[in-house]
């Protein structure tokens, strides 16, 4: 009975056990299925992880190469900027030297032009003097020929007069008693007339001398007037030339002021453009940095396990607070220590860092309820920072000291994960550091071999652990959307930088053109000033020349145009003419008596005597005419000889002055040639310096663009 009463419970128990067995079998099958699916997912995720890791390593290598290239470009840029400054300074020095040489050359050119002007005037004056001397020599020769002819004619006339006079005397003697009284009366009257004729001859000689002097004075006065008019015309010409040069200089000064203002504006524009370009480069660098950080964070997020993604999604949804993320993503380490930290602490770095115990428990409950998987958590509130343990063997670094945490709050977590693990260069040093001292240490080599303090060692294999930590902390809020936004921001910053650089190139080119024009004007203005100074000197010289000629025309009796001397000469001419007229009037009665007596003699002698007397008088008149001509020719010859002597002296003086001017011109020309060669060499150096500076600036611009 009791057995039967327990039968139901037994059957119930057997049914429960059977059900439990079936449940266990079903759970086992479910677990096996989930395990298989997990292995498949794990294999797929592992493949994705490997691909992402390879891509990350390739990207890191490319990034390192770009960073090295950027560093080299930055060094090249700094060196090129320094070279540009040196070249600009040298170009400025050479430009100043060239400007000085050009100013000296301009001064010499002005001097040469002045000397050429004086030489041309001297040559023109010399040509005029030579022509005048040739005319004077021709005049002297012609006068000498005329005087020879006059002397021959005088001798012939005197000979003929003697013959005709003898014939006249024979005719007169034949008249005898008819004309004796008349002849005696004529002789008496002629004796009375002789003193008067002597006086008239003396006055006539003085009259001719005064007339000659007056002619010389008139000629000199005319020459002085012509020279004065020529000097005034030259003064007007140089004044007009000076006005033109002054106007040109004023235009260049105004242009220099305008170009200076434009150059200052271009300098400001270039400075603004440089500032904008620098700000643009900084903005592009910052945008690229943020994009790279976001890209690295997105890559890290994509390579995270499903457990970490689920936990982080709970944080992002606000369901669980106090979650910081994967420990390895909360710090950074140099790429050189990637293998070491991944080998020594790879599993610990996969731990999820939470702030409080409650946050950790909430995460565990979520994983248990969702069945996503398992995870290891590091609770910051339960950790305390540790101090350094002192010196290390051989001075090797502690692994934790190489980490750059994203914040000081995460230092205890890294200390907890890494402990006192040391980093050795190679396995040989790792063995010495780990076991060579009184105290054993946990050591990891750079190639990933881990030596535990207990004496065990792990490592080897064809693949090494990598990627547990990056060289920069990941952005905490990275997402594909954020990455896309940052990429767009980077592209916009690059486009804006390109605009700033284009504007800077335009401003730089404009400034360079203005600087070239400014330098040309600075070089030209001193030359114009020298030419203006030379024009002022020419004006002053022309003024002095005109003033001296005017003074000569109104100054002392020794000068040719002296009015008092000319008036005195004219007065002497008038006085001599008056004296001659008075003497002729005083002796006119005697002349009349002689003519009457001679007429009576002619009447007494008849036609024959009249004819012979006419022949004698004709010869006497011709002799008087020839004598007058001889006297005039002698005076003209004396004047021509004096003028020729004076012209020869002036020609010799001017020839010496021309020789001196030619010597000065040759010396100045030699100086100009030497200075021109020097200026040409300096100009070549200046052009080479400018070309080299332009080349360096272009290289600098290309380097900046490449660096950007």
Q: What is the pLDDT of residues 143-178, one digit of tens each?
A: 788 888 888 888 888 888 788 878 867 766 666 555
pLDDT at 427 over 60: yes
- pLDDT for res 605: 54
> Distance between CA 300 and CA 52 in Å, rounded?
9
- pLDDT for res 423: 93
> Distance between CA 375 and CA 384 in Å, rounded?
22
* Those residues with Cβ within 8 angstroms of residue 424's Cβ, 6 or more apart along the chain or in another chain: 396, 430, 433, 443, 444, 445, 446
> Distance between CA 530 and CA 347 in Å, rounded?
88
pLDDT at 560 over 50: no
User: Angle, nearest 10°, between helix axes 2-175 and 588-707?
Assistant: 170
Q: Residue 462, SS3?
A: coil
pLDDT at 187 over 90: no
pLDDT at 211 over 60: yes
Higher-confidence position of 361 and 584: 361
pLDDT at 302 over 60: no
- pLDDT for res 557: 45
Longest distance between any two alpha carbons in the chain, whole Å = 247
Give me the count of residues in the chain.
Answer: 708
> Distance between CA 463 and CA 134 in Å, rounded?
118
Confidence of residue 378 (pLDDT cuts 50, 70, 90): very high
pLDDT at 581 over 70: yes
> Distance between CA 640 and CA 143 in Å, rounded?
9
557-587 burial, b at 16+ Cβ within 10 Å, e below that, comes to: eebbbbeebbebbbebbeebeebbeebeeeb
Confidence of residue 647 (pLDDT cuts 50, 70, 90): confident
For the residues of 523-567, what is the DSSP string, one character each? HHHHHHHHHHHHHHHHHHHHHHHHHHHHHHHHS-TTSTT-HHHHH
- pLDDT for res 305: 67
- pLDDT for res 11: 81
Query: At 326, which helix (H) or strand (E)?
Result: strand 323-326
For the residues of 97-134, what is the DSSP string, one character each? HHHHHHHHHHHHHHHHHHHHHHHHHHHHHHHHHHHHHH
Q: What is the pLDDT of residues 484-543, one digit of tens each?
A: 888 888 889 888 888 888 888 888 888 888 888 887 887 777 777 877 887 788 788 878
CA–centroid distance for 263 within its chain: 12
Token pair, residue 657, equals 């002055």
The residue whose two tokens read 């293998």 is: 339
Could you tell me if 561 and 216 are in contact, meaning their C-beta atoms sit under 8 angstroms apart?
Answer: no
Q: Which residue in 344, 544, 312, 581 sits closest to 452, CA to CA?
A: 344
pTM of the full structure: 0.46
Higher-confidence position of 212 and 434: 434
């Amino acid at each position: 009975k009791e057995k039967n009463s327990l039968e139901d419970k037994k059957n119930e128990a057997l049914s429960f056990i059977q059900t439990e067995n079936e449940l266990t079998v079903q759970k086992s099958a479910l677990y096996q299925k989930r395990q298989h699916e997990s292995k498949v997912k794990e294999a797929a995720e592992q493949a994705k992880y490997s691909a992402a890791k390879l891509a990350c390593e390739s990207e890191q290598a490319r990034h390192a190469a770009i960073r090295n290239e950027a560093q080299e470009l930055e060094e090249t840029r700094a060196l090129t900027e320094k070279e540009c400054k040196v070249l600009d300074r040298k170009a400025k020095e050479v430009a100043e030297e060239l400007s000085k040489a050009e100013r000296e050359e301009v001064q010499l050119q002005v001097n040469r032009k002045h000397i050429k002007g004086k030489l041309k005037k001297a040559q023109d004056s010399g040509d005029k003097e030579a022509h005048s001397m040739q005319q004077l020599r021709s005049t002297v020769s012609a006068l000498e020929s005329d005087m020879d002819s006059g002397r021959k004619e005088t001798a012939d006339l005197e000979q003929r007069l003697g013959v005709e006079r003898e014939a006249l005397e024979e005719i007169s003697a034949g008249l005898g008693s008819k004309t004796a009284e008349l002849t005696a009366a004529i002789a008496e009257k002629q004796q009375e007339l002789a003193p008067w004729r002597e006086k008239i001859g003396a006055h006539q000689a003085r009259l001719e001398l005064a007339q000659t002097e007056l002619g010389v004075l008139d000629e000199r006065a005319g020459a002085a007037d012509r020279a004065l008019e020529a000097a005034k015309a030259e003064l007007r010409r140089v004044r007009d030339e000076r006005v033109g040069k002054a106007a040109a200089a004023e235009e260049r000064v105004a242009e220099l002021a305008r170009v200076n203002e434009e150059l200052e504006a271009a300098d400001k524009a270039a400075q603004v453009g440089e500032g904008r370009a620098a700000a643009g480069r900084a903005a592009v660098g910052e945008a690229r940095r943020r994009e790279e950080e976001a890209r690295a964070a997105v890559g890290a997020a994509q390579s995270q396990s499903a457990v970490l993604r689920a936990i982080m999604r709970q944080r992002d949804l606000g369901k669980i607070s106090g979650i910081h993320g994967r420990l390895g993503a909360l710090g950074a380490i140099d790429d050189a220590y990637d293998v070491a930290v991944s080998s020594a602490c790879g599993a610990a770095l996969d731990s999820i860092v939470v702030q409080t115990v409650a946050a950790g428990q909430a995460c565990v409950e979520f994983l248990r309820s969702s069945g996503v998987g398992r995870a290891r958590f590091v609770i910051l509130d339960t950790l305390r920072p540790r101090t350094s343990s002192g010196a290390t063997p051989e001075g090797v670094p502690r692994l934790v000291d190489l980490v750059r945490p994203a914040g000081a709050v995460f230092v205890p977590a890294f200390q907890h994960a890494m402990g006192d693990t040391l980093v050795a260069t190679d396995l040989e040093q790792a063995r010495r550091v780990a076991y060579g001292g009184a105290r054993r240490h946990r050591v990891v080599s750079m190639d990933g071999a881990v030596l535990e303090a207990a004496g065990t060692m792990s490592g080897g294999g064809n693949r090494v652990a990598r990627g547990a930590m990056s060289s920069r902390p990941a952005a905490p809020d990275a997402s594909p959307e954020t990455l896309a936004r940052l990429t767009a921001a980077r592209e916009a910053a690059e486009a804006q930088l390109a605009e700033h650089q284009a504007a800077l190139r335009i401003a730089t080119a404009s400034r360079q053109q203005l600087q070239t024009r400014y330098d040309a004007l600075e070089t030209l203005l001193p030359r114009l000033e020298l030419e203006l100074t030379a024009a002022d000197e020419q004006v002053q010289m022309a003024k002095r020349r005109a003033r001296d000629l005017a003074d000569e025309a109104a100054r002392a009796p020794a000068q040719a145009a002296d009015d008092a001397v000319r008036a005195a000469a004219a007065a002497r001419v008038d006085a001599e003419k008056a004296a001659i007229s008075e003497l002729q009037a005083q002796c006119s009665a005697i002349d009349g008596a002689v003519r009457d007596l001679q007429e009576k003699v002619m009447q007494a002698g008849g036609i024959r005597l009249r004819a012979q007397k006419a022949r004698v008088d004709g010869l006497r008149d011709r002799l008087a005419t020839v004598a007058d001509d001889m006297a005039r020719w002698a005076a003209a010859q004396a004047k021509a000889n004096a003028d020729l002597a004076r012209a020869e002296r002036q020609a010799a003086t001017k020839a010496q002055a021309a020789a001196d001017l030619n010597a000065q011109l040759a010396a100045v020309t030699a100086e100009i040639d030497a200075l021109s060669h020097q200026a040409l060499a300096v100009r070549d150096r200046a052009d080479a310096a400018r070309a080299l500076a332009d080349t360096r600036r272009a290289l600098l611009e290309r380097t900046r663009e490449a660096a950007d």
